[in-house]
Amino acid sequence: MKNWFLVALFVFSLSHTDAVAQKKRSERAYSSYYAGEYYNAIDQFKSAYSKTRKSDKAARTELIFMIGECYRLVNDPKNAETWYKLAVKSSFSKPEAQYRLAESIKKNGRPAQAIEEFRKYKQIAPSDSRADQEIRACELALEWMKNPEAYRIDEMKDINSKESDYSPAFARSDDGLLYFTSSRDDAAGNKTHGATGQSFTDIFETRLDKKSKWSTPVPVDVLNSEFEDGAPSFSADFSEVFFTRCEAGKRDKKGCVIMFSGSKGESWADPVNLEILPDTMVTAHPAISPDGSTLYFVSDMAGGFGKKDIWYVSRTGSGWSKPVNAGPEINTQGDELFPYVRDNGMLYFASDGHIGMGGLDIFRAQLQPDGRWLIQNMKPPINSSSDDFGISFAAGLEKGIFSSARKGRGNDDLYSFEMPPLRFNVTGLVKDEKTGSPIAQSTVQLIASDGSNLQAETGAGGDFKFALKPNVDYIFVASRKGYLNGKDKQTTKGQEKSRDFMVTILLTATDKPIELPNILYDFGKWDLRPESMVSLDKLVETLLDNPEVTIELMSHTDSRDTEQYNQELSQKRAQVVVQYLIDKGIEAGRLSPRGYGESSPKVVSSDITEQNSFLKTGVTLTEQYINSLATEEQKEIAHQINRRTEFRVLRTDYRPVKK
């Protein structure tokens, strides 16, 4: 008994010691986490997890979730997904683990799968509206990826390092001089950032040489310190620079401040704290407006709409006004970061609160006349499933540089973007309207609203091609002996992407009468019905396109009533049509009305048979044939087909009468 008691006492002592040690491990991990040292906390949480008894499933599940959280916060969605997935499998899992799993899958570039995971989250947390927004974001991401914007994206391999490189800024007076933020080995700080595991960042500069290659980046020593320095923004005349400095990586960190420096010859003066807010608060990512009157920045101060918001101050003499929040159109419940004001006044920023493709997306905000902001996602290829942020445009051009966590050489990398010149082409076919056969050796004339005029001849397949200019209206007129001229229209106005247009121009042969569809009359009347006007207006356009043509208007009746009555009725109908054309500006000398009464019944064409299967192709709709049809409805259809108006070309050498 005595020995048993001693053994039991020893085991209890070990168990108690392990429990105390386990508690200390967890406390260290949480202490690092709440201090923002997520990178350090990962190994600490893993150590605590490995030492936690397997029977304590609730504690192990919580530690697994916290490891996933740390990976998420150091922007490692791949590892975050792995640990969230483990957390979700546990019966002790919290709903937030399912949401974070779906979020990580989305950020890893699998929006379709993310939709399914967000739907699972909706089942366990139906009142959380975040899931609906994320599902919509995934659906839009799938649409956007199918139809990306026209920007051309290239990784800047000459500049990027294996560490983080981000937040580019052009010296606006010289697009060949670039500043950016980097944690590469050349950075001045010799400490490791507890949140990222990398060195403290510094501001670097690089220049574009005559061969369009960027020089080796070097730190801007006068702007850098032993702390975190980065996210520079320059005034339009390059006489001022604003940037962020953070005393990060310490448990007693002071937050971030905006530093200012003025130009001093070829260098910069020693930077000073702008003191927009107390240095215990976050004041970061400055962006000076082109006119120098407004400074945008990021802060998590009280009075915002979410985590970190975009604020601004106005220059007042030698100082700055009180901060003003940029408002709910820009700011959300999430983070709004890295503002940038383009030389045209457009505001750009990164956000994970607006509907986007992954983590941070880049958005543009345009101020409307009513004072509200119109917010637009820049879509792929600038945005991706990874974090995209910190954009800068070359002066006056639709090109620049942005930073992204998408797959590259390191963590965050710099990418150039450029909108290629818009290119438009039109490929066309000229065909016979009746047979659909291509018409070779027809002439196609291009008439443009900018005054240009080109001509081409169709090949054996009736094809032609022209290069088009942006923001121009075009008319294509095709002509061929034995045919009426035909035309089509296209415009490149309002087109934001390069495009190839397709047009088909149908030409009508002049060797046979041409029926005007839908020229309808009530029985025994010659007044034009309203629906007839559309067809006649097309005839007006045809005559205007063929000013050398004279035509005979041919009106036909059905066989009911006497031949004399039908002759007079058809003549009146032809004259009504001619008068309509004259009223529309067609010269009377080009028009000859003639009524044919019932003397020329219609021969059934294949088109008529397709619409009326009871009529056989090639049959003439005589009175005898019509009377043999099975029903009164069929007879009335046949009579209506005979009541038609046609025209035929008489001459092709008409010259207008001089007035």
Q: Which two tokens stand for residue 557?
A: 């009746």
Question: Quick check: 518 and 641 in contact, CB under 8 A?
Answer: no
Asked if omega into 381 is within 30° of 0 (cis), the reply is yes
Does domain 424-507 fall under CATH 2.60.40.1120? My reply is: yes
| Position 317 confidence tier, pLDDT thresholds 50, 70, 90 | confident
570 has pLDDT over 70: yes
Integer Cα distance of 88 and 95 in angstroms: 8
289 has pLDDT over 90: yes
Report how far apart, in Å, the C-alpha atoms of 200 and of each of 76, 238, 246 are: 19, 26, 9
pLDDT in tens, 218-250: 999 999 998 999 999 999 999 999 999 987 544
The residues spanned by each domain of the chain are 26-146, 167-418, 424-507, 514-602+644-651
Integer Cα distance of 553 and 592 in angstroms: 6
Residue 61 has a pLDDT of: 94
81 has pLDDT over 50: yes
Provide the CATH number for the domain formed by 514-602+644-651 in this structure: 3.30.1330.60
What integer is the mean pLDDT of 186-208?
Answer: 78
Q: In the block, which residue shows the tokens 């069929």? A: 634
94 has pLDDT over 50: yes
pLDDT in tens, 619-647: 999 999 999 999 999 999 999 899 888 99
Residue 248 has a pLDDT of: 54
pLDDT in tens, 8-27: 433 444 444 555 566 787 88
Residue 250 has a pLDDT of: 42
Residue 11 has a pLDDT of: 40
Pairing of strands 453-457, 486-491: unpaired
Does domain 167-418 fall under CATH 3.90.79.10? My reply is: no
| Position 254 confidence tier, pLDDT thresholds 50, 70, 90 | low
Question: Quick check: 362 and 378 in contact, CB under 8 A?
Answer: yes
Question: Quick check: 412 and 405 in contact, CB under 8 A?
Answer: yes
Give the DSSP H or E segment for 501. strand 499-507
Question: Quick check: 426 and 468 in contact, CB under 8 A?
Answer: yes
Integer Cα distance of 210 and 176 in angstroms: 10
Pairing of strands 347-351, 336-341: antiparallel
To the nearest 10 degrees (0 to 180), the angle between helices 95-107 and 111-124 is 170
What integer is the mean pLDDT of 505-530?
Answer: 83
Q: Return all residues near 44 (Cβ < 8 A) that are at least 6 apart.
A: 25, 28, 29, 32
| Position 333 confidence tier, pLDDT thresholds 50, 70, 90 | very high
536 has pLDDT over 80: yes
Q: Would you list the DSSP string of 510-576? A: SSS-EEETT----TT--PPPTTHHHHHHHHHHHHHH-TT-EEEEEE---S-S-HHHHHHHHHHHHHH
Integer Cα distance of 9 and 24 in angstroms: 23
Question: Topology of 26-146 in CATH?
Answer: 1.25.40
| Position 2 confidence tier, pLDDT thresholds 50, 70, 90 | very low
Phi, psi of 191 (to 5 degrees): -100, 160
Residue 344 has a pLDDT of: 92
Report how far apart, in Å, the C-alpha atoms of 97 and of each of 66, 68, 103, 235, 374 are: 10, 9, 10, 44, 34
Sign of the Cα pseudo-torsion (359, 360, 362, 368, in order)? positive
Integer Cα distance of 478 and 463 in angstroms: 11
Residue 3 has a pLDDT of: 53
Q: Would you list the DSSP string of 222-252? A: GG--SSEEEEEEE-TTSSEEEEEEE--SSTT
187 has pLDDT over 90: no
Q: Which two tokens stand for residue 134?
A: 């994320």
Of 67, 62, 96, 88, nearest in space to 79 by CA: 67
pLDDT in tens, 593-610: 999 999 999 999 998 999
- Edge-to-edge strand ranges of the sheet holding 413-418: 152-155, 413-418, 399-404, 388-393
What integer is the mean pLDDT of 372-387?
Answer: 96
Q: In the block, which residue shows the tokens 């200019």? A: 469
Residue 21 has a pLDDT of: 62
Integer Cα distance of 199 and 190 in angstroms: 7
pLDDT in tens, 32-58: 899 888 989 999 999 999 888 888 999
pLDDT in tens, 141-164: 999 999 999 999 999 999 999 999
Phi, psi of 264 (to 5 degrees): -140, 85
- Edge-to-edge strand ranges of the sheet holding 514-516: 514-516, 645-651, 550-555, 591-595
What integer is the mean pLDDT of 185-204?
Answer: 76
Per this entry, what is the length of the chain? 659
The Cβ of residue 656 has, within 10 Å, a number of other Cβ atoms equal to 10
